[in-house]
Amino acid sequence: MSFKQKVFGVALALGLAIPSTAVAQDYQTRHERAVASQRARDHRHHTGAKIVVGSAAGGAVVGGLLGGPKGALIGAGVGAGGGAIANKVRVHKGVKARERRREY
């Protein structure tokens, strides 16, 4: 392999690598802005807290009806856990929707 071929190969590799890093940086920036926008809206409206507390209250009511005071405590814990998972899914979907709409 001659020197010219080596130089051409390195130049070609660099030329192909630069646009892909630019695309990755663009995606990362878009993702970070969408996350920040979603987080700001959720903090402004206390959305996560409403979901988790509402789920915990519902779990406590159902647990209290089925198992008395001990059931209410267990139900509240299970409800809060379920609410936390539901909130995580909701936030993830919101971020992806903002990325698609470029709303940030």
Region of poorest pLDDT, from 27-31, 76-80, 92-96: 27-31
Supply 52's token pair. 């988790």
pLDDT tens digits for 51-77? 999 999 999 999 999 999 999 999 999
pLDDT of res. 90: 97
C-alpha dihedral (76, 79, 81, 87), degrees to nearest 10: -130
| Nearest CA among 73, 80, 81, 32 for reference residue 53 | 80
Give the tens place of pLDDT for each residue, 9-41.
877 776 766 665 566 668 889 999 999 999 999
Cα separation, 27 vs 62, in Å, equals 44
> So what's the pLDDT on residue 18?
64
What is the enclosing helix (H) or strand (E) of 39? helix 3-45
Q: Is the pTM of this model over 0.95?
A: no
Question: What is the C-alpha separation between 100 and 72, in angstroms, rounded?
Answer: 41
Which pLDDT belongs to residue 21?
Answer: 58
**Mean pLDDT across 42-49:** 96
